[in-house]
Structure formats: C-alpha cells, structure tokens
Amino acid sequence: MMITIVPPYSLIAMPEDDASCITEWRYPSPYHAYNWPAWDIVKKQEIEFGDTEIRSEQYRSIIDANGTLIGFVQLFAMQATVRIALFLALAYCGRGIGQQAMQLVIREVNDNYDNYEIDLEVETWNERAIASYLRSGFVITDQYELPSRNDQTIRNVYCMVYQAQ
C-alpha cells in the first residue's frame, strides 16, 4: 500500500496521542537504536516526551496538510545553541522528506531563538541522515562518544552545526 504524503508540513506542540504513537514506531536494525520503550513505561517513568512539561517545552510533531503525524523534533535550548533531534516515521524515511522537515525546523528555531546556533548529534554510521543533514546546510564539526539511551553501549557521534545557506 502506497502512503500518501500531503505537503506542506507543519510543526505543532506534541499532543500526548502523538507521543504515544511514536513509542509504537519500530525501526529495523541498525536504526532500532531509535526505538522507544512502550508508552506505559515512557509515561510512568516520565522519559523525555513522557514528561508533560518536557514534551510541551521541547517536542514538536511534524504533520502533513491532512494532520497525519510523519515525524517529530526535539528542540533543546542550551546557552546560545539549540540542539535538535529530528525523526521521521519509518514509512516516511527515504522519501525526500527529511530536508523539507529540516528546513521547517530551522525556521522554527530562527523564529523563536534569536541568534542561536543550531546543532545536532548523529551516529557516525547513519549515512542516510548525515547525507540529508549535509544537503540541509549542516557541517560536521566534532566527533565523540556518548552513552546510548536504550542500553549500556557507547555511541560514536558527529556533532553537526548549521551554516546558514
């Protein structure tokens, strides 16, 4: 079945229904590192968007013109930088939506955080995301290790910074 995506896309405050839906997304290996625990666990332990306050401050749903949830973004402001994390539902990956969604996110940051730098972290193995971020105007500025959110492993990541085009 072909999924119809209806541009334009919008960012909205993430409702709890979207947060619950996101925990059901299941990515295949090696992207399974982006899978979330079940909603009842996320909600009970107030993990990230399971915490109402964090969800309202940092998380936005990406929807198409029909109101269909196609992805989400976290906007984490720190000092003079907004760190973003962009995720698309599996059905929308590899369909050319990443750059459009990223431009929407960049506008959101520029509209709400005057003169803040925009950066992100991406696993060094995630060539598809890295290529999309490079096309969107990000450059790799650093490489380091971070603990994984889902287990006790270490992630090797690039820090990428947006260079206005």
In a domain, 4, yes or no: no
What is the number of domains present in the chain? Answer: 1
CATH number at residue 85: 3.40.630.30
pTM value is 0.91
As a whole number of angstroms, the distance between CA 112 and CA 127 comes to 30
Beta bridge partners of 72: 61, 87
In a domain, 5, yes or no: no
In a domain, 1, yes or no: no
In a domain, 104, yes or no: yes
In a domain, 3, yes or no: no
Tokens found for residue 1: 């079945």
In a domain, 149, yes or no: yes
| Nearest-10 crossing angle of helices 97-112, 127-135 | 60
| Residue 137 Cα distances to 22, 62, 91, 118, angstroms | 27, 20, 24, 11
In a domain, 110, yes or no: yes
In a domain, 116, yes or no: yes
DSSP-assigned letters across all residues of 138-160: EEEEEEEEEE-SSSS-EEEEEEE
- The pLDDT tens digits along the chain (165 residues) read 445 555 689 999 999 999 999 999 999 998 988 999 999 999 999 999 999 999 999 999 999 989 999 999 999 999 999 999 999 999 888 888 888 899 999 999 999 998 999 999 999 999 999 999 999 999 999 999 998 776 678 889 999 999 976
| Structural domain boundaries enclosing 135 | 10-162
